[in-house]
Amino acid sequence: MTIFIGADHNGWQLKEKIKLALQKQRHKVSDQGNLSFQATDDYPDFAKKVALMIKKNKNSVGILLCGSGQGMCMAINRFAHIRAVVAHSKSAIKAARQDEDVNVICLPAKELNLKKSQELIKVFFETPFSKLPRHQKRIKKLSSLK
């Protein structure tokens, strides 16, 4: 499984720390930008890059960071194959993974430090999709929305 990660200027510093921590844990991480701090960059650019890479690489996941997590979440959820949530709590991520099979978490970099981010990411990685028929039906409906 490849983890595609991206961040704008508000999330860049935390993204770099998360990327290093994941690599130390021997995860395959592909950084989709920004590759250097640029105060004038735009979050939709990195959300799009992550979305396109997930589409090309089945069973991959994404981690996106911006100031609130909301902008990245809105941008990446425009892609039909993506189910993203803003990661605020372990219980919310667990429910989103179990019920909606989310494949991207968006982290609010202005609210998190590395330790809290790692805790949320761990829940994201370790929680499986329940595969209950009612949840599968709902995900199918999400994919058909226009």
Helices (H), the chain: 12-24, 43-56, 70-76, 90-100, 114-126, 133-144
Q: Tell me the pLDDT of the chain (146 aa) as tens digits.
A: 999 999 999 999 999 999 999 999 999 999 999 999 999 999 999 999 999 999 999 999 999 999 999 999 999 999 999 999 999 999 999 999 999 999 999 999 999 999 999 999 999 999 999 999 999 999 998 878 76
Please name which of 112, 105, 61, 66 lies closest in space to residue 85, comparing C-alpha atoms: 105
Structure tokens at 37: 């701090």
Quote the pLDDT of residue 14. Answer: 98
> Which CATH topology does 2-144 take?
Ribose 5-phosphate Isomerase B; Chain: A, (3.40.1400)
**Domain boundary assignment for the chain:** 2-144
